[in-house]
Structure 1
Amino acid sequence: MDTPIVPEAVAEASIAVPLRPPGLWRQGWYRFRRNRGGMLGLGLVALVVLVALLCPFVAPFAPNDQSAMLRGAARKAPDWVHLLGTDRNGYDVLTRVLYGASTALAVGLGAMAVASVIGVIIGGIAGYAGGLTDELLMRFAEFFMVIPVFVVILAVVRLFGIVVVGTWLESIPNLNLMTIIVLLGCFEWPPIARMARAEFLRLKHAEFVEAAICIGTKKRDILLRHILPNALPSLIVLVALGIGGAILAETMVSFLGFGDPKAVSWGQQLHFNYEALKVAPWAVLSPGAAIFVTVLGFNLLADGLTDAFNPRLRR
């Protein structure tokens, strides 16, 4: 005999359980995965990060090993001992390229961390407060945008390098590199501030923000828990794009001889070996290729994030 169907069970089974709509980040990741350029950029960035983390374990020589010069093997062509050859100072090119990845990431991430903090604070205050505060802060940002950043960085690095001689600051490791990172961050924040201002202006009139105001939520919680998380996708795009720019800026500073002599960077490799381009091209092409791959990766990643979090593509 068939089991009788209980009406209550039929009614409960017919009720569809509502699915939770995907969040902003989940939707962005779904669109990002469909972007081939963005995924390629993510792969290149992941490769650079992996190299930076594993370089102490996979590098064939120490970063400051100049034993090849003692053997008369400076500017030696690639072979089984030195896979990418040696440079004019007797350094193993492959080792210096691997260790240069950590320096490049430190510069890019450090500079954009400083720029992000300054930009979000100034842009957020300008966008949420509005009025005269908005005007003054945006004029302040425009002042920084017209300053010849590169010239100022070169002058400050050179002056600071002279001032610290003979002081306790001279014993700080990679002091010049940290100075370059801070200077890059202090001059790269205006685009982030302008984007943060636009997002805060848009979001402060959103329904969920007005609802939070009606129930008496504090301004600090509104800014940090409601507006800022929804403004982050647009800001992350600028940060990813700025990382590649910061790496290029540090490369140019080091190429001109103003970099940190104690740090291993791709710009310094170009500085010491560009004159021997015809004699030992491997010493220049290798760090140049590393710079190209790293900057290309962050630029493609930024393009993919733009397509993923562009408000015009949201449904």
Structure 2
Amino acid sequence: MELLLQQLFIVLGLLFCLRLALKCLGFSKYLFPRLWGVLPPSFFQSLGKWAVVTGAGDGIGKAYSIELANRGMNIVMISRTLEKMQRVAMEIEQTTGRNVKIIQADFTKNKIYEHIEECLKELEIGILVNNVGMLPSPHPCCFLTGPDNDESLINCNVTSAVKMTRIILKQMKQRRKGLILNISSAFGSFPCPLYAIYSASKAFVTTFSKALQAEYKSKGIIIQAVTPYGVSTPMTKNPSTNIITKSSRDFVRESLNHVAQGSETFGCIAHAALGCIINHIPLWVIHSTRVQEFCLHIINRKQNKE
């Protein structure tokens, strides 16, 4: 019996060490990206002539539009904010010389995709960035306390990714190449109180991306969920940047270095490190009433100061 217990503990110890080694190996892609392969400068252009970015008028979508243009792509910007897109388009055309096409569409609505598909006809699309998204309320809150905008949020966060992927994946499959980046959130990696519907919508995006990558990786197509923590954008009320909270431009630049490194990425080393810490916190701690009350107290104090 004693020998059996010794063998059991040895096996458990080996499994723990193996799990730790795999974690370290995964983390090394952020520390030593060159060991995982450096993308050639022509990589993005080799996928196709055009990149389509949703929610492109501001924040992360704007940053992807500018950065992909800097890397040689023509850009299709899709958003409901026409004036913002026009300003970004002018900046891209003047600084990079790339072509920009603008499509105005409100992703909280469902009757937009036929128009979008018609506008994208005849374009050789190599990259799709499903970035558009929304929070149910400006600040974290309990489900019943927040506004009743569930349909708009699901259309924007979930339906948009599915519909846009269906439109563009067809031609990528025919050409046997393409890149789809689905901008999710680290809050989708666990059931996050005070962000219940947002967390659930992003969990869908991450799972959807991973399943599609398994289906289409043999067709030469990369489909990746990007799951950041803090990024300073208008949606998050533009918080000050620091070691964790990245500017949109810095986050996008770093995340594009990891597009060929698996079906999910935190996008940057700081968020990967934070993810390692949070993933080891027991879920019962995060879900405890005291933690939620403390978070709401901090939020209320911040709102009162504002």
Pick 1 or 2: higher relative contact order, CA cutoff 8 A, min separation 6: 1
Instruction: Name whichever structure is richer in strand by fraction.
Output: 2
Shorter-chain TM-score bucket reads under 0.3
TM-score normalised over the length of structure 2? 0.28
TM-score normalised over the length of structure 1? 0.27
Instruction: Name whichever structure is richer in helix by fraction.
Output: 1
